[in-house]
């Protein structure tokens, strides 16, 4: 298992490096394949030796080899965050048929989070393909594990959460972006696959965390105010993690308390 986690972590670092390209180029509708990675200041191509995740940034001390321009610390942080999520999911799901689906979720979740924090947008180019990819990967897991019930629950969770977010958007469009509605079905799919408790806890956690952070922004931060816009996509994805890791025990505890047993 330790060897597998090392491989998954290295894979996460490599994918995290690619996600830095995705995060910059996709919102600008640029190709993620061409041209090759280059310095945004001097346009010098990034050499292969300078494209090793995290290590190259440390060796170069966060500066371009050609012109000396600063390279944001965010680049290695994205790589490390992706690797950490990959390892965390590897530990949680183990060598299981649904692990590839959740590794994809980790990758696209990191990209969507960073783009939403930067631009208050969740690009369709990342959100919409996550439906067929997620359905295909979870479908393969359902076939491998003979678990059609989990796949049906994923479909129902996808429809239920997308329907709920769609209703919120129709009632109060100023408080919910259409990109959040499009992402909600993906969140519902992955939580629904795990169970109804995970779905309910994950969905509820997103609104609780979002409300707390929004209050802090409005009340406590300089420049904050009632018109301050706070991206909701990251809270949906954090809620998704809460649902994955704590959804079952929290839902079980709530059921025991309310039933008095």
**Within this chain, do residues 49 and 105 fall inside the same structural domain, yes or no?**
no
96 in the Ramachandran plot: left (φ > 0), alpha (ψ -120 to 50) or beta?
A: beta
**Within this chain, do residues 199 and 153 fall inside the same structural domain, yes or no?**
yes
Q: Which of 65, 87, 109 is the last residue of a domain?
A: 87
**Within this chain, do residues 37 and 76 fall inside the same structural domain, yes or no?**
yes
Distance CA 107, CA 22 (A): 11
71 in the Ramachandran plot: left (φ > 0), alpha (ψ -120 to 50) or beta?
A: beta
Distance CA 114, CA 234 (A): 8
- 255 vs 61, 191, 194, CA distance in Å? 52, 18, 17
Distance CA 204, CA 200 (A): 6
**Within this chain, do residues 76 and 101 fall inside the same structural domain, yes or no?**
no
CA angle (115 as vertex; 176, 195 as ends), nearest 5: 60
Q: Which of 32, 63, 87 is the last residue of a domain?
A: 87
Please give the distance of CA 204 from its chain centroid, rounded to a whole number: 17
**Within this chain, do residues 112 and 166 fall inside the same structural domain, yes or no?**
yes
**Within this chain, do residues 132 and 37 fall inside the same structural domain, yes or no?**
no
Tell me which residues of the chain have a pLDDT lower than 70. Answer: 220-228, 260-261
Q: What is the pTM of this model?
A: 0.93
DSSP 169-237: HHH-GGGS-HHHHHHHHHHHHHHHHH-HHHHHHHHHHHHHHHHHHHHHHHHHSTT--TT----SHHHHH
Q: How many domains does the chain have?
A: 2
**Within this chain, do residues 100 and 57 fall inside the same structural domain, yes or no?**
no
- Looking at residue 218, its pLDDT comes to 76
**Within this chain, do residues 108 and 67 fall inside the same structural domain, yes or no?**
no
**Within this chain, do residues 121 and 57 fall inside the same structural domain, yes or no?**
no
- Looking at residue 226, its pLDDT comes to 53
Q: Which of 56, 87, 118 is the last residue of a domain?
A: 87
- Looking at residue 222, its pLDDT comes to 60
**Within this chain, do residues 81 and 105 fall inside the same structural domain, yes or no?**
no
**Within this chain, do residues 118 and 233 fall inside the same structural domain, yes or no?**
yes
- 32 vs 37, 55, 128, 189, CA distance in Å? 9, 22, 17, 27
> Which structural domain, as residue segments, surrounds residue 56?
1-87
pLDDT digits (tens, 9 = 90+) for 102-130: 999 999 999 999 999 999 999 999 999 99
Beta bridge partners of 45: 38
**Within this chain, do residues 83 and 147 fall inside the same structural domain, yes or no?**
no
């Amino acid at each position: 298992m330790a060897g597998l986690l090392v491989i998954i972590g290295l894979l996460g670092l490599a994918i995290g490096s690619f996600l830095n390209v995705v995060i910059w180029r996709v919102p600008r509708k640029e190709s993620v394949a061409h041209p090759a990675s280059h310095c945004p200041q001097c346009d010098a191509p990034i050499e292969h030796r300078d494209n090793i995740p995290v290590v190259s940034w440390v060796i170069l001390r966060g500066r371009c080899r050609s012109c000396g321009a600063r390279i944001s610390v965010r680049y290695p942080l994205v790589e490390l965050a992706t690797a950490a999520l990959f390892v965390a999911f590897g530990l949680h799901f183990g060598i299981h048929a649904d692990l590839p689906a959740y590794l994809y979720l980790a990758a696209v979740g990191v990209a969507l989070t960073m783009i939403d924090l930067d631009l208050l947008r969740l690009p369709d180019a990342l959100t919409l393909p996550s439906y067929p990819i997620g359905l295909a990967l979870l479908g393969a897991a359902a076939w491998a594990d003979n678990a059609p019930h989990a796949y049906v629950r994923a479909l129902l969770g996808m429809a239920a959460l997308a329907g709920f977010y769609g209703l919120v958007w129709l009632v109060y469009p100023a408080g919910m972006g259409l990109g959040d509605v499009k992402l909600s079905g993906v969140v519902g799919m992955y939580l629904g696959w795990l169970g109804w408790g995970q779905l309910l806890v994950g969905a509820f956690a997103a609104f609780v965390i979002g409300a707390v952070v929004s209050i802090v922004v409005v009340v406590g931060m300089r420049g904050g105010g009632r018109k301050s816009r706070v991206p909701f996509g990251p809270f949906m994805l954090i809620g998704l993690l809460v649902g994955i890791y704590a959804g079952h025990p929290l839902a079980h505890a709530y059921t025991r308390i309310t039933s008095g047993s």
